[in-house]
Amino acid sequence: MKKMVLAVIAVILMSAPVFAEFNLRTSLDIAGDYKIKTGKGNINAPGSENYDTSVSVTLSGEYIVPAIENYLKVGCGFELPVPRRYYRDDGYTFWHMPVYLSAQTNPILRLPELFFRLNLGYNLLFLDTMHWDSSYISVNYKRGLYYSFSAGWEFPFGLFVDATYAVYNSGIEYKHLYFSQTADITYSRAGIGVGYKFKGHLNIPNINIIM
């Protein structure tokens, strides 16, 4: 089955030149929420807490190819882990780095500049534990689902702007000298972004797949 899927992809890619886009984007995140839901353990009782997050930026890159001409584009992308803080006590620093699949549609023929985008992928979490109590001997990270929704406008010279709402799911298990605790973490943000599209033809080499 795996070889069959690879063969179909290879035939599609080699049937015609592939016109690709490379998108670079930066977003100013003006609103954010950091939710910690405590689970199994004997340090804290089960429950949930919400914290505001600092204004930050998000940097991302995407590789996009057309799937349905003038209507649908698909691809993949990633975000760079830019540090940000949530306000608990003196504040704690965290990073997220999602890797995702992307689908973008231009649904209104009379407004081809208007687009909507859905990203869906896998999120990696990182926490700054340098200032944690030294009695915590280990922290294990749980990866989670990432998704985002965007609406934007493309300009003819390659520039585009968008508004995005994104959700990053993850979790941790931290161990004390005598205790342990798990927690699910959900970070959500809303931001306004600007980016640039680099366009060009992708040369696909001949691929031989042995069935």
Nearest-angstrom CA–CA distance, 195 and 61 = 9
The CATH number of domain 18-202 is 2.40.160.20: yes
Residues 117-157 have pLDDT tens digits of: 999 998 988 777 655 555 556 777 888 999 999 999 999 88
Domain definitions of the chain by residue range: 18-202
Q: What is the arithmetic mean of pLDDT over 165-180?
A: 83
Nearest-angstrom CA–CA distance, 54 and 187 = 12
Give the model's confidence band at 210: pLDDT under 50 very low, under 70 low, under 90 confident, else very high.
very low
Give the model's confidence band at 192: pLDDT under 50 very low, under 70 low, under 90 confident, else very high.
very high
Q: Which of 122, 125, 131, 57 is nearest to 91 (CA)?
A: 131
Residues 45-61 have pLDDT tens digits of: 566 788 888 888 999 99
pLDDT, residue 46, reads 63
* Neighbour count for residue 10 (Cβ, 10 Å): 15
Comparison of pLDDT for 18 and 110, the residue scoring more: 110
pTM for this entry: 0.80
